[in-house]
A and B are shown apart, each in its own frame.
Chain A
Amino acid sequence: MNFDLTDEQQMIVDTTRKFVESEIVPAEENLDPDAGSLEPHDFERLVIKTKEMGFYGLDIPAEYGGPGLDTTSRALMAIEMSQHRAGLYNPCYGVFGGAGLAQLYEATDAQKERWLYPTLRGEKKGCFALTEPSGGSDPARAVQTKGYKDGTEWVLNGSKLYISGADKADYALLFARTSDDPGRNGVTAFIVDTDSPGFFVRRVVHTLRATHYATELQFEDLRIPEDQILGEVNGGFAIANDRLSRQRIPYAAGCIGPAIRAQAMSIEWAKSRETFGSILAEKQAIQWMLVDNEIDIRHAKYCVLEAAQKADKGLRFRTEAAMAKLVATEASGRVVDRCIQIHGGIGVTKDLPLERWYRELRIRRVGEGPSEVQKLIMARDIIGGSFK
């Protein structure tokens, strides 16, 4: 692996870093410490800037008008974009635009006209509704929302849990069991408008993320025309799984930004804070914590870049992506934990972003497949087969 950045990658990193330091950090200074959005005038102003920079719609494929970044450049940007208070879950507060649900690029032309293109124009929002109360780590078997065919329509009954953004979404990508197969070959993906009769957002689910909540959904005789199936009947799990795999690299990269920022804050603090007649930086206990942080940050970064480079080369990257997700989420959590310890009392207050990163990073070890599932994925590849 070669971790030297190309000139273009270095330019992307420098430009993003400057943007975060000069635009995002000042704009968020006066917001509530748990804010999830910028003031509207700041948001609109900064979207214009990212469009001028040519970086708007980061994850949109080039053929649909996006900047066409490779995975490594995208991961490097994610590391930079998350280096502010809200950066873990709201990198740059969304001013770089969204790509919509990646699965919609595989949709039919009619489906693209109705849902994908309006999403890319910023006119519609979608949500991804897979996880159910029966479990999230093994979605192929956990899906219990049932669908049956009635003429040219499908009728769905069931529920979903921990779904982000459903209360504000115009449509949902919704997975339901449509055959007797209890596993991955019995699930179908549907695109459904959230104002359809029978689609209900029942409640907000409050979590450690004080700003962004999840929701619980319920479907009661929700009727969906058959032309709103994405892909093939009973072929939905492959669509869901593809998203889960692709997501792991930028998801891991985004965890590293707060760790880098927390480490920088801690070094500065250690060099200026005095106790017992000397600055913290002169005490071995503090030095070792800072060194352990550095090891964790570099380890996480190398894992992410290795996975990204393999993906860019068209090589198999499933184990590397799982390792990057596991290492980055756990290492960054440890870094922020040590940084709070170095800061002492002020570290646990809302005066600093450390407490927010601490809470939110904890979720990262569970979301998008918990650490234990990442180990399961790696074990399958290392040992071979499916343990048969």
Chain B
Amino acid sequence: MGIRLEKNWEILNSARIKALPGQLGVYQIADKDEQIISVGYAGAKEPFGIRSALEREILLHGNVATQFRYEFTSNYRSRWDELLMLHIYDYGELPEHQRNEASRVGRLHPI
């Protein structure tokens, strides 16, 4: 099983978000150049799961957030940490607005 979130990017807009089920999971948000600007999770506190979380990402990043990809999982907390560690491994640091998570997450050396 691949550990990276390698699904195709989808256009991020309200219409697409509304079509998603309200399940729990993890996601990545990217700009138009597919640069990841956020790695997040939709937890059980979200009223409509991943839909609510993605709507909040649009509010946070505005027009810069143009694409997303996601994965439904009830293990959203451990999967989120895994994606953050992979991001550090791949890019050296976390997305700018998530740098405060760096001291909390561990480190991975995937094959």
Q: Enumerate chain A interface residues (CB-CB to B < 8 A).
A: 32-37, 165-168, 200-204, 206-207, 209-213, 215, 350
Q: Which residue of B lies closest to A208 (CB)?
A: B75
Q: How far is the CB of B98 from chain A (nearest CB, A)?
A: 15
13 contacts between A and B (CB under 8 A): A32-B43, A33-B43, A33-B44, A36-B77, A168-B106, A202-B109, A203-B3, A204-B3, A206-B78, A207-B75, A210-B75, A211-B78, A215-B106
- Interface residues contributed by chain B, number (CB under 8 Å): 21
The answer to whether B77 and A204 have CB atoms under 8 Å apart is no
Tell me the dominant secondary structure on chain A's binding face.
loop
Tell me the dominant secondary structure on chain B's binding face.
loop
Residues of chain B lying within 8 A (CB to CB) of residue A167: 85, 105-108
**Is B110 interfacial (CB-CB < 8 Å)?**
yes
Q: Which residue of B lies closest to A359 (CB)?
A: B74
The answer to whether A33 and B45 have CB atoms under 8 Å apart is yes
Q: Which residue of A lies closest to B109 (CB)?
A: A200
With A37-B104, A201-B109, A203-B108 as given contacts, are A350 and B77 in contact (CB-CB < 8 Å)?
no
Residues of chain A lying within 8 A (CB to CB) of residue B109: 200-202
**Is B82 interfacial (CB-CB < 8 Å)?**
yes
The answer to whether B111 and A202 have CB atoms under 8 Å apart is yes
| Alpha-carbon distance A167/B84, docked complex (angstroms) | 12
Q: Enumerate chain B interface residues (CB-CB to A < 8 A).
A: 3, 43-45, 74-79, 81-82, 85, 104-111
Residues of chain A lying within 8 A (CB to CB) of residue B45: 32-33
Q: How far is the CB of A169 from chain B (nearest CB, A)?
A: 8
The answer to whether B82 and A32 have CB atoms under 8 Å apart is no
| Alpha-carbon distance A33/B104, docked complex (angstroms) | 18
Residues of chain A lying within 8 A (CB to CB) of residue B105: 167-168
Residue in A37, A203, A206 whose beta carbon sits within 8 Å of that of B79 in the complex: A206
Q: Which residue of B lies closest to A169 (CB)?
A: B106
Residues of chain A lying within 8 A (CB to CB) of residue B76: 34, 210
Q: Which residue of B lies closest to A33 (CB)?
A: B44
The answer to whether A212 and B78 have CB atoms under 8 Å apart is yes
Q: How far is the CB of B86 from chain A (nearest CB, A)?
A: 9
Q: Which residue of B lies closest to A204 (CB)?
A: B82
The answer to whether B108 and A201 have CB atoms under 8 Å apart is yes
Residues of chain B lying within 8 A (CB to CB) of residue A33: 43-45
